[in-house]
Amino acid sequence: QIHLAESGGGLVQPGGSLRLSCVGSGPNFRTYAMGWFRQAPGKEREFVAGISFDGGNIVYGDSVKGRFTISRDFAEATVYLQMNSLKPEDTAVYYCATTYASGTHYFPVDGYWGQGTQVTVSS
């Protein structure tokens, strides 16, 4: 059983930065690729970024390339999402999830999701 807990969301002005954290627990957490996804009201869930179990492969969604950085700390069992140059269209609930990687795509797998953290970008 994997448990995921996100934190770090909040209200930020356009152009600002936030760092989201996803703390994982469970015996197999470190064997999973991980992903960040987001969902805005009235919109479909969107892939944001994915990182392989060993950190050696990283993929970003087109809308965040060059602005967001995903990383993972194995000792702390935490996956981070550093978000810079935030835009109003980045406003959404952000979720971390266990994933599998297929080429340059990351897909949710096994149904492990965090509770989500709200990010609001507004002046």
SS3 29: helix
15-32: pLDDT as tens digits: 999 999 999 998 889 999
Query: Chain centroid to CA 23: how far?
Result: 11
CB atoms within 10 A of CB 108: 16
* Cα–Cα separations (whole angstroms), residue 80 to 5, 44, 77: 12, 23, 10
What pLDDT, on a 0 to 100 scale, did the predictor assign at position 26?
87
Eight-state DSSP code of residue 62: T
Distance CA 101, CA 85 (A): 27
Q: Of all residues in the chain, what percent carry a pLDDT higher than 70?
A: 100
